Amino acid sequence: MHRMHLPKFILAVLALGSMATVAWAAPRAGRIALLGDPHLPQVQYILVKKAARRLYLMNGDTVVRSFRVHLGLMPEGPKERSGDYRTPVGWYHLERRDPRSDYFLSIQISYPNRADRARARAHHWQPGGEIMIHGLPNRLHGPLSYYQHSDWTDGCIAVSDADMMQIWMMTRDGMRIDIQP
């Protein structure tokens, strides 16, 4: 029997069983798609509380799911400029998904917004960018325990791979995300 090589993404989807109903790869198109379980709860927005290290999938005032997060290496305060290793604070939205990033799935956040750019410009700084919600790096550069117990990103919001799969399936592009101190 010929064994087909599947990307880490597809293997994780298949391993989740009932969490994902359909996963497929279109190698010629270079695309991977995931269709979520139609029975998953509705999510209206994402709330991140940096001090609590929690990400909440929200439906109105109801917490649908809650996840532990890891933040930038310098988690206190809002992101102000490129290279400050801080996670932004404010209202943003989910911009685009990348199933083939350097991390296990990633969803880009719309940082910097207009206010972030104006603040950086006033101080003659570059605001930075490429802030994502993502899973673990595809190639770990240290022991797994480091990623599980430390703030380790350059300013992104990191979760476990299993949690990232749920976030990926329960959110959509354009959805709001409120990142609080």
Q: Residue-wise pLDDT tens for the chain (181 aa)?
A: 444 344 444 444 444 433 443 343 333 344 444 555 667 888 999 999 999 999 999 999 999 999 999 999 999 999 999 999 999 999 999 999 999 999 999 999 999 999 999 999 999 999 999 999 999 999 999 999 999 999 999 999 999 999 999 999 999 999 999 999 9
Residue 33 lies in a domain: no
Which residues span the domain enclosing 122?
Answer: 41-180
Q: What are the helix (H) ranges across the chain? A: 8-15, 114-122, 144-149, 161-170
Task: Answer whether residue 101 is part of any domain.
Answer: yes
pTM here is: 0.80
Strand order in the sheet with 45-49: 62-68, 54-59, 45-49, 176-180, 90-98, 106-109, 132-134, 157-158
Tell me, yes or no, whether 21 lies in a domain. no
> At 73, which CATH number?
2.40.440.10
Q: HSE on the CB side for 32, CA within 13 Å? A: 16
Cα–Cα distance, 77 to 87 (Å, whole number)? 8
Q: Give a yes or no: residue 36 inside a domain.
A: no
Tally of domains in the chain: 1
Let me know if residue 106 belongs to a domain: yes
